[in-house]
Amino acid sequence: MEDPGLFDLREALRHGEVSSHDLVGTALERAEASADLGAFVSLNGELALAEARAADARIAATVSATARRGLPPLLGLPTAHKDLVAVRGIVTTHGSAAVPHLPAAEDDPVAAAVRAAGAVSLGKTQVPEFGIAGYSENEIAPPARNPHDPARTAGGSSGGTAAAIAAGVIPGAIASDAGGSIRIPAAACGLVGLKPGRGAVPADRTRSAGSDPSLDDFGAPRMGVSGPIARDARDAAILYDALRGRADEPAHLAVASVMTQPGSLRGLRIGVSLASPFEEWIPIRFDPDALAALQAGVDALTAAGHTVEEAEIAYDSRYPEAFTTVWTAGLGRIAFEPGAEDRLGALAGMFLRRARDTPRAQVEKAAAALRSFAADVARQWGAYDVVLTPALASPAPRVGAFRALGPEGDYRLQCEWAPQTSMVNVAGLPAVTAPTHRTAAGLPMSVQLIGRAGDEVRLLQLAAQLAA
């Protein structure tokens, strides 16, 4: 029998059928038993169990069922944080040997939101160095492996998180996505991953600085957002509600729409596209299993009553160079201690050299090209209610496959494997990945659904339809 999901565990907690202490204790045991997956960089067992006991006391003190409905939406449920997120009192390594490993003085806004929602964090999960890769390997901890085949990657940059969920250690978690970091590992591990649109999550708005929070320091569209990874659309909706602070507003609950209305969502115009903006730089080839996953998505959405048609989409040829210029520029803002750069991994080292060799005026020109790209794709995608693509071009590669190619080959393979994720971050629109197919070897394959601004709940409903 499959383990209960986040929704069922929450109901069991609220009805006194299970304790948070038991759930967290079991999760810690599973984390230790599956250590060979490399999902966790660190576990904080004593702290997690203390928080679980506090959650149990709060639930016990809330006598009526009605009052318990008003408790924090994730109270007592086990989760984890990526090792890029500052959590009060816990060391953050950023997956790098080149920066000090110090405990954080306070919570990052997203960690604070998860804490306010009542979730109990077991510890930190594995990431690539500074979150810059679509796989989760670095110089300081074992790689995050795919529970469906431990010889293969769990994806990245939220690979440790996805591995922990797919292995049944935790029921779900909040992750982050600046170029595909929620959707890539969710797809690789057979999970649902939602990348909200720019500005949809209050904690992300808190992080943003400057006169225009939609742009970064170079004037490029701000790409990083926070969102859920979970086993199904219902659980992802619970996490999304908690993240955006909507747990006490029933009329706006994503989970209510996913649970009660997915069948009523019909008649959308859905455009199917294999086009990638990286085609101007490298040939993009979709594996037969990626195409099978796409066809399964087309069939399911057609059966659900939507109009699914081929989309004619063409992308700006400047995208590969402009995106890479902006993507790598961020490392140039890190103030490394003397000698620390020698401890960078090969990919981060290449990115840093490129960042330092690129004049600011050139980065700003690339940023302007990305702003133009965002406006253009919003117009083209806007001809449809939703755009449907493969989530990944092939099943998860083997652990070590990227790094074996050297840094330039590594980056190229990342763009070949996930050729349609970063463009959605640049556009600032929401997207969800959901599994639709398995290979002959049992590896999950997924599709990506890209929505219009504010369509996160609709995308979760569609993800639920894909699983129906």
How, if at all, do strands 149-153 and 145-146 pair?
antiparallel
Indicate which residue of 19, 82, 276, 446 is catalytic.
82
51-72 mean pLDDT: 94
Q: Which strand ranges, in their side-by-side order, compose the sheet holding 172-177? A: 172-177, 225-230, 192-195, 431-438, 444-450, 386-390, 269-272, 307-310
Measured distance CA(266)–CA(24) in Å, rounded: 40
Measured distance CA(233)–CA(353) in Å, rounded: 41
Q: In this predicted structure, what is the pLDDT of residue 1?
A: 45
Structure confidence by residue, pLDDT tens digits, 399-415: 999 999 999 999 999 99
Q: Is the pLDDT of residue 447 over 60?
A: yes
What's the CATH fold of domain 6-467? Amidase signature (AS) enzymes (3.90.1300)
181 included as an active-site residue: yes
Structure confidence by residue, pLDDT tens digits, 266-311: 999 999 999 999 999 999 999 999 999 999 999 999 999 999 999 9
157 included as an active-site residue: yes
Indicate which residue of 136, 157, 176, 446 is catalytic.
157
34 included as an active-site residue: no
Q: In this predicted structure, what is the pLDDT of residue 210?
A: 61
DSSP 392: -
Indicate which residue of 181, 226, 273, 394 is catalytic.
181
Distances (CA, A) of 105 to 15, 113, 243, 386, 399: 36, 16, 22, 42, 34
> Which residue is associated with the tokens 């997120």?
85
* Residue 76 CA, distance from chain mean position: 22
204-208 mean pLDDT: 76
Q: In this predicted structure, what is the pLDDT of residue 252?
A: 52
Q: In this predicted structure, what is the pLDDT of residue 251?
A: 46
